[in-house]
C-alpha cells in the first residue's frame, strides 16, 4: 500500500477499507478492554525479510534464527472478541473502530463452534479473539437456496458472514452456519502460556477451533516456503484467506517490542498477490477532495475481481494516467497511457482497493485520444496547479484546486471530515445528511462551515422551517441529532486538531501535537510564533518525534491563513477543547516530561528505550531545548550533552534513568 498511500494522499477515502468502522447503532456499543488493532501489511518476500530484520534490530544482540515466529493463515472474515467471566461467555463484540465494537452476543451464541462455557482450568477473565467466517461450501449452498427461492444471491462469503452476524433476529444468524477460528486474545486475568503457539493450543484444548495450517518457524526461508505452500493450497481450502500472519512467538519478546500507534511491532500480515481481470474504461471523472486534490477516477464496465463487482478504480493523478510514478520513473511503457475506451487490467490491491495496472494496446480503439487533465477545478472553476517541491524542485504529483473554502467540493468534504469518527464523531451527520445541509439555501438549515453545525438548533428554534417536517427526518431523529451535537461541545484536544483538516495532519499527528502542547491555546500560540519558520517555536515543532519539516510547514501555513483563523474562532465560540490528559497514571515519575537519549545505550536499544519512555507518558524528543527535562547520556554522547549542560538540563546515566522509572 506504500505506493497507493503516496499517490492518493487522503482524498480518495471511498477506495480504502478502514481498520474497522463506527458501530452502526443497530446493536449496543461495547468498549474493548484492550484495543483490537490492525496489522501492518507486507506484499513481497523482501518486505518479510525487512519485518524480521526490524524485530532483531529492535531487540538487539540476538543470534540469527533465535527468534521463532508463528505463521497462520489470515482468514477473510469478521474479527470477533469473546469475553468470558468465571468461564461463562458474557459478551461478544465486533472490532468496530478498534476501541468500541457492537455487542452481538445473542447472535454469537448461535454459532455451534464457539463454546459458551470454558473448562475449570481457564482463568476467571478470558477474552478470546478470532475470526467469524462462512465456509465456501456453505456459501454456495446458501446462494443455491436463494436462487431457488427467486431471491437475490450474495456477493462473497466475507460480506455474507458480516451481514449474517448483524441480523436483528438470531434465528437468521443460526441458519447461516457461521464458523470461527481462534488465534488471539484480549484481557486475561492470568496467562496460561508463555508463547503465541502455546496460547493457541490452549484455545484448542478449551474447545475453540484453531487453524491446522499454523506453524512455528525460525528462519525467513522457512517462513516464505510456508507462505508459498499455503498459497498453493488456497484454492482448495473451504474458507477464504487473503494472506499469512507472522507473529513473534515468545510473549515476553512481544511485550518488549510493543506497539506503534495502530499496530503491533511483533506481527505483520503477508498478503497474497491481488487478483486481476480485464475490463473497459467507459469514462474518467475528476473528484475534488478535502485538501483540494483532483483525483481522476476510472468508471469501468462492471467486472468481478476477487469475488467483488468493481465499477470504479482510482487513477491517482495526472502522471499515473501517463504511466509515470511518484519518483518520476516510468511504471508503464511510453504508449501505455490510460484513455477512455481502453481495455485495461484491473486488480484489487491487497484484495481491497481497485487499481488500473496497465493497458492492452492491441484492443485500443483507433479513434482514441490521450486524456487531457483539467487545468481548472471542475467544481468551482479555480485554477488547478501542481505545486513545486522546494527541496527537489520537482512538481508535486497531485494537482490541487486553489479555491480553498470557495470550492464547494472542498468545503463539503471538510465538513464530512469534521464530523467523522476520529474527529467530532457526530452521530446522525453522515454523508447524505451533510450533503443535504450543505446544499440547502435556507438560512435555518444550511451548514457551510463546521461552526454552523453548532448554531443549527438555535437557527431552527427561530425559524418556521422545521427540520422534523422535512422528508428523511422526524421528531425523534432531529432530537437525537441535536443531542449528539450538544454532546460534542466539549471535545478532546487531539480530536479538535484532527478535525481542522490541516493537510498532512492525521489522527496520529494530532495526538502528538495535543500531547506536546497540552492545550489549544498553547498550540495555537506556538503555531503563530512558528510562522516565520525559524526560532524556538519552529525548532520545538520540528523536534516533536514523528513531525517532519513538511508537516510542520503545513501546520503553520494553516494558521497563517486569515480565513482559517476566522472559522476556528467561530468554532471556539461554540465548543471547548479539553486539555490533553497524560496517557498514564500520575504516579509515573516521567509522565508529561520531555526526555532526550544520546550516546550509546547498553541496557536497551534506542527504539526500546523510546517505546518504554513513551509508554510511561514521557515525550521523547530528538533535540535538546529549554523545555527538555532529562537527557539520558551514554558513552559517546556529543553535542546534545554539551547543549544540555549549557541550558542546565538534568543529565543522567542509563542506570539512573532506569532507577527513576522503576527498572
Distance CA 185, CA 256 (A): 18
Distance CA 254, CA 266 (A): 6
Q: Give residues with Cβ within 8 angstroms of 429, minimum separation 6.
A: 419, 453, 481, 484, 485
46 annotated as belonging to a binding site for a ligand: no
Q: Give residues with Cβ within 8 angstroms of 464, minimum separation 6.
A: none
Cβ burial of 639 (10 Å; 0-12, 13-18, 19+) is: exposed
The answer to whether 590 and 617 are in contact (CB under 8 A) is: yes
131 annotated as belonging to a binding site for a ligand: yes
382 annotated as belonging to a binding site for a ligand: no
Q: Where are the alpha helices (DSSP H) in 212-342?
A: 220-233, 251-257, 318-322
- The DSSP letter of residue 337 is -
**Grid cell in block for residue 532:** 516565520
Q: Supply the residues annotated as catalytic.
A: 74
H or E stretch including 598?
strand 594-598
Distance CA 28, CA 124 (A): 24
Distance CA 142, CA 144 (A): 5
The answer to whether 227 and 270 are in contact (CB under 8 A) is: yes
407 annotated as belonging to a binding site for a ligand: yes
Q: Give residues with Cβ within 8 angstroms of 131, minimum separation 6.
A: 75, 77, 78, 79, 80, 180, 181, 183
271 annotated as belonging to a binding site for a ligand: yes
Radius of gyration of the chain (CA): 27
187 annotated as belonging to a binding site for a ligand: no
Distance CA 213, CA 65 (A): 21
Compute CA distances 66 → 17, 217, 604, whole Å: 36, 10, 18
656 annotated as belonging to a binding site for a ligand: no
Please name every residue paired with 167 in a beta bridge, in sequence order, or none if there are none. none
Q: What stretches of 337-401 adopt beta strand conformation (E)?
A: 343-349, 353-359, 384-385, 400-401
Distance CA 339, CA 329 (A): 20
322 annotated as belonging to a binding site for a ligand: no
Closest alpha carbon to 517 in 606, 561, 577: 577
Angle at 575 between CA 571 and CA 580, to 5 degrees: 110
User: What distance lies between CA 352 and its chain's CA centroid?
Assistant: 14
From the annotation, which residues make up the binding site for NAD(+)? 38-39, 72, 95, 131, 247, 271
From the annotation, which residues make up the binding site for Zn(2+)? 377, 380, 407
From the annotation, which residues make up the binding site? 38-39, 72, 95, 131, 247, 271, 377, 380, 407
Amino acid at each position: 500500500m506504500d505506493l497507493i498511500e503516496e499517490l492518493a494522499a487522503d482524498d480518495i477515502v471511498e477506495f480504502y477499507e478502514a481498520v474497522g468502522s463506527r458501530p452502526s447503532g443497530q446493536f449496543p456499543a461495547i468498549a474493548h478492554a484492550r484495543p483490537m488493532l490492525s496489522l501492518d501489511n507486507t506484499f513481497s518476500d523482501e518486505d518479510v525479510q525487512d519485518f524480521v530484520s526490524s524485530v532483531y534490530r529492535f531487540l538487539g544482540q540476538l543470534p540469527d534464527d533465535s527468534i521463532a515466529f508463528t505463521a497462520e493463515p489470515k482468514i477473510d472474515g469478521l474479527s470477533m472478541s469473546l469475553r468470558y467471566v468465571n468461564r461463562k461467555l458474557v459478551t461478544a463484540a465486533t472490532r468496530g473502530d478498534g476501541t468500541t465494537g457492537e455487542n452481538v452476543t445473542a447472535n454469537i451464541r448461535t454459532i455451534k463452534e464457539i463454546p459458551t462455557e470454558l473448562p475449570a482450568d481457564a482463568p476467571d477473565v478470558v477474552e478470546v479473539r478470532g475470526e467469524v467466517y462462512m465456509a465456501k461450501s456453505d456459501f454456495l449452498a446458501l446462494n443455491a437456496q436463494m436462487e431457488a427461492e427467486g431471491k437475490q444471491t450474495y456477493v462473497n462469503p466475507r460480506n455474507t458472514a458480516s451481514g449474517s452476524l448483524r441480523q436483528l433476529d438470531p434465528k437468521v444468524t443460526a441458519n447461516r452456519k457461521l464458523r470461527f477460528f481462534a488465534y488471539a486474545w484480549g484481557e486475561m486475568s492470568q496467562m496460561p502460556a508463555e508463547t503465541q503457539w502455546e496460547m493457541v493450543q490452549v484455545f484448542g484444548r478449551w474447545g475453540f477451533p484453531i487453524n491446522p495450517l499454523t506453524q512455528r518457524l525460525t528462519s525467513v526461508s522457512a517462513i516464505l516456503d510456508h507462505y508459498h505452500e499455503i498459497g498453493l493450497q488456497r484454492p482448495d481450502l473451504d474458507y477464504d484467506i487473503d494472506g499469512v500472519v507472522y507473529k513473534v512467538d515468545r510473549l515476553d519478546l512481544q511485550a518488549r517490542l510493543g506497539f506503534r500507534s495502530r499496530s503491533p511491532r511483533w506481527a505483520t500480515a503477508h498478503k497474497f498477490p491481488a487478483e486481476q481481470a480485464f475490463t473497459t474504461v467507459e469514462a474518467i471523472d475528476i473528484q475534488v477532495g478535502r485538501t483540494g486534490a483532483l483525483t481522476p477516477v476510472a468508471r469501468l464496465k462492471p467486472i468481478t475481481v476477487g469475488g467483488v463487482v468493481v465499477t470504479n478504480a482510482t487513477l491517482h493523478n495526472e502522471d499515473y494516467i501517463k504511466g509515470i510514478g511518484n519518483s518520476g520513473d516510468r511504471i508503464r511503457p511510453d504508449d501505455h497511457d490510460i484513455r477512455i475506451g481502453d481495455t485495461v487490467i484491473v486488480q484489487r490491491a491487497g484484495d481491497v482497493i481497485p487499481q488500473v495496472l496497465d493497458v492492452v494496446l492491441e484492443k485500443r480503439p483507433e479513434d482514441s485520444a490521450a486524456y487531457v487533465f483539467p487545468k481548472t477545478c471542475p467544481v468551482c472553476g479555480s485554477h488547478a496547479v501542481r505545486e513545486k517541491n522546494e527541496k527537489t524542485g520537482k512538481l508535486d504529483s497531485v494537482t490541487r484546486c486553489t479555491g480553498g473554502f470557495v470550492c464547494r467540493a472542498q468545503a463539503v468534504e471538510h465538513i464530512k471530515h469534521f464530523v467523522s469518527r476520529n474527529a467530532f464523531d457526530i452521530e446522525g451527520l453522515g454523508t447524505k445528511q451533510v450533503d443535504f445541509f450543505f446544499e440547502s439555501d435556507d438560512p435555518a438549515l444550511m451548514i457551510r462551515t463546521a461552526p454552523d453545525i453548532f448554531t443549527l438548533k438555535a437557527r431552527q428554534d427561530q425559524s418556521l422551517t422545521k427540520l422534523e417536517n422535512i422528508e428523511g427526518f422526524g421528531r425523534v431523529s432531529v432530537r437525537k441529532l441535536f443531542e449528539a451535537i450538544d454532546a460534542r461541545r466539549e471535545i478532546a484536544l487531539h480530536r479538535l486538531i484532527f478535525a481542522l483538516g490541516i493537510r498532512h495532519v492525521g489522527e496520529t499527528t494530532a495526538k502528538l501535537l495535543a500531547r506536546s502542547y497540552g492545550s489549544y491555546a498553547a498550540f495555537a500560540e506556538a503555531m503563530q510564533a512558528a510562522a516565520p519558520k525559524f526560532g524556538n517555536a519552529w525548532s520545538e515543532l520540528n523536534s516533536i518525534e514523528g513531525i517532519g519539516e513538511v508537516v510542520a510547514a503545513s501546520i503553520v501555513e494553516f494558521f497563517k491563513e486569515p480565513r482559517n483563523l476566522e472559522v476556528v474562532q467561530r468554532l471556539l465560540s461554540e465548543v471547548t477543547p479539553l486539555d490533553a490528559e497524560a496517557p498514564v497514571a500520575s504516579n509515573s515519575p516521567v509522565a508529561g516530561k520531555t526526555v532526550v537519549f544520546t550516546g550509546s545505550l547498553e541496557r536497551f536499544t534506542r527504539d526500546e528505550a523510546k517505546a518504554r519512555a513513551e509508554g510511561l507518558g514521557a515525550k521523547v524528543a530528538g533535540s535538546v531545548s529549554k523545555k527538555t527535562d532529562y537527557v539520558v547520556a551514554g558513552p559517546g554522547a556529543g553535542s546534545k550533552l554539551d547543549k544540555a549542560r549549557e541550558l542546565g538540563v538534568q543529565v543522567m546515566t542509563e542506570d539512573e534513568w532506569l532507577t527513576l522509572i522503576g527498572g
